[in-house]
Structure 1
Amino acid sequence: MTDKSAGKLPHSAAIIARDAADELGECLDSIQACDDIVVVVDSRSVDNTASLARERGARVFVEDWKGYGPQKQSAIDKCQHEYVLLIDADERMTTKAVEEVGRVLSEGFNNNNKTPAYAFRRKSHIGGRWIRHSGWWPDRVTRLIDRRRCRMEGVVHERILVDGGRVLNLDAHIEHYTFGSYSDMLQKLDEYSDYTSRELLKKGRGVTILSPVTHAAWTFIRVYFLRRGFLDGLDGLVIALLNAGGAFFKYAKALDALRHAPPRD
């Protein structure tokens, strides 16, 4: 890692990871400008994610899974600096993105920056192929925050709560190698629909026998037609179908859980 004497501005990076040994190395390579890196590893991880991160100089904490928002907040809380770069193990900072971070941090230190958070465009890939439509580009994601004025929440869909000010968009993108194959996408669908169905029930949302079908149909229409997924060829069709499948199983699993729930007194 680097320090201020090497011409780097002090800021931290916060990463949460599970079974990410195959991709974490390149992520860490892209954030060498950070002089403090915190990696919170899901205790369910079975590969060498934790040891790899330690070997690369990161401070590593192995914790039980608390949900996306709380897990990221745990990593943020352990950071040493006020400005924190949020990055996932399957994301890479580009040269331009690193330059933008340096610029805004320099301006912040010199001018008492009042901006609480900054967002990048995110360029996502499936099997190395850039997905230009389907709602995947340009995908604005908040990745640089002042941790004194921002907090993460949301067990399934993490959100950044900003205390005053607004999120500014930076003129740069980060790379996101989200899925290596369609099989990876199917595995994620099953796992993610488990989370979303539980969250649905927790919020007490109404679910009927038609909910899986109607939500799946609307999701497919939105992704494939309204977000022009058809322009992404086979990848766009797969994304639309799997998004629709995720919506279907979110409600189907919720219905199944209600069907097997013990009767109320």
Structure 2
Amino acid sequence: MISAIVHTFNEEKNISRCLTSLDFVQEIVVIDMGSSDKTLTIAKEFPVSVFSHPYTGFVESARNFGISKAKGDWLLIVDADEVVPRTLGDKLRQLSGDKQQQVKFYRLPRKNIILGKWIKHSGWWPDHQIRFFKKGSVIWSGEIHGVPITRGEGRELAAQEDLSLIHYHYDSLEQYLERLNRYTTIQAKELFLKNKKAELSMMFSYPVNEFVKRFFLLEGYRDGFHGLSLALLQSFSELVVILKLWELSGFRQEHISLSEYKRLSDNADKIKKYWLANELLKKPRHFISSLYLKILRSLNS
């Protein structure tokens, strides 16, 4: 028996599409965190069991609560803004019916649709997530975006579009910034409780490292304007976390010298120039152009 667990908070735009795609499971458990729109009215038009969970601003604790309520021996975790294609549903039914296999959990690939585009780089694809597992083999930590704690053997499904969850992620900048504000507040509080302090160097290193990772190392530039925009937004998110951590310290006053600012700014520029040259060197070029880029990379290493 497969039970699907869906957590919701004001998902009236998405919930019908999500629940419609779950017609292959034997039970659907909806964990609602205080929706004030028509989410529950729409959800109850489907054969679902609805339970309430306090609003936390993130989903991990609600997932654990849902696991405790589900009756199936195999559990499928689905976000309300996700869809399970028929081909993936058939595959999960096949896996759950195999009595010989020893696998306890599966990482499912996820196709992220962000601002109207399937994002194939920047770490957004194949974006494997632990979402299908035998009951008792997976629980979530209490931290935002925490890694699940697993027991037993796990396996990844192939990164194929027809075997992927479809995640209709951010559909507007307003939605992205609203979630950014919510998530960064939680992240800053978690750092504060671990006695972390905001430092000037972090305001440079955290954003630039995030940008370099997303845009260069994970080849976000291959997603064009979308890739650049997302790398900048995720870099900005890192800065906001540091500023909110500073806020939690009471906006501690601290002197900043221009020489220190120049050192940190120059270092951030060197990092970006190094990785830019590194990526450009991967493309076929004339000898002189390649030599120039190698020198540029060396100077910024």
Match of 1:169 in 2: 156
CA contact (8 A) 1:68 1:158 kept: no
Q: CA shift at 1:209, angstroms?
A: 2.6
Q: Mean Cα displacement is larger for which, 202-211 or 183-192?
A: 202-211
Q: CA shift at 1:260, angstroms?
A: 5.5
Q: Which has the higher contact order (CA 8 A, sep 6+)?
A: 1
TM-score (norm 1): 0.88
Q: CA shift at 1:62, angstroms?
A: 2.1
Amino acid at match of 1:105: S
Alignment gaps of 5+ in structure 1: 1-9
Aligned to 1:21, the other structure's residue is in SS state coil
Question: Structure 1 CA distance, aligned partners of 2:130 and 2:23?
Answer: 19
Are positions 1:192 and 2:192 aligned together? no
Q: What does residue range 1-265 of structure 1 map to in structure 2 within 5 Å?
A: 10-43=1-34, 45-66=35-56, 67-107=58-98, 110-111=99-100, 113-165=101-153, 167-171=154-158, 172-259=163-250
Question: Structure 2 CA distance, aligned partners of 1:220 and 1:170?
Answer: 29
CA contact (8 A) 1:189 1:245 kept: no
CA contact (8 A) 2:112 2:168 kept: yes
Question: Structure 2 CA distance, aligned partners of 1:257 and 1:52?
Answer: 40
CA contact (8 A) 1:69 1:155 kept: yes
Question: Structure 1 CA distance, aligned partners of 2:13 and 2:6?
Answer: 15
Q: CA shift at 1:154, angstroms?
A: 3.0
Q: CA shift at 1:41, angstroms?
A: 0.9
Question: Structure 2 CA distance, aligned partners of 1:234 and 1:83?
Answer: 40
Question: Structure 1 CA distance, aligned partners of 2:172 and 2:230?
Answer: 12
- Cα deviations across residues 238-258 of structure 1 (Å, max 9, x unaligned)? 110111111111111011111
Question: Structure 2 CA distance, aligned partners of 1:155 and 1:52?
Answer: 30
Amino acid at match of 1:230: Y
CA contact (8 A) 2:197 2:245 kept: no
Question: Structure 2 CA distance, aligned partners of 1:85 and 1:72?
Answer: 10
Q: State the Cα RMSD in Å.
A: 1.5
CA contact (8 A) 1:193 1:246 kept: yes
Alignment gaps of 5+ in structure 2: 253-301
Runs of 4+ in 1 over 4 A off after TM superposition: none
- Cα deviations across residues 14-54 of structure 1 (Å, max 9, x unaligned)? 111111011011111111111111111112x2211122112
Amino acid at match of 1:16: H
Question: Structure 2 CA distance, aligned partners of 1:41 and 1:220?
Answer: 34
CA contact (8 A) 2:220 2:227 kept: yes
TM-score (norm 2): 0.78
Number of residue pairs matched by the alignment: 247
CA contact (8 A) 1:68 1:155 kept: no
Amino acid at match of 2:40: A
More strand by share: 1
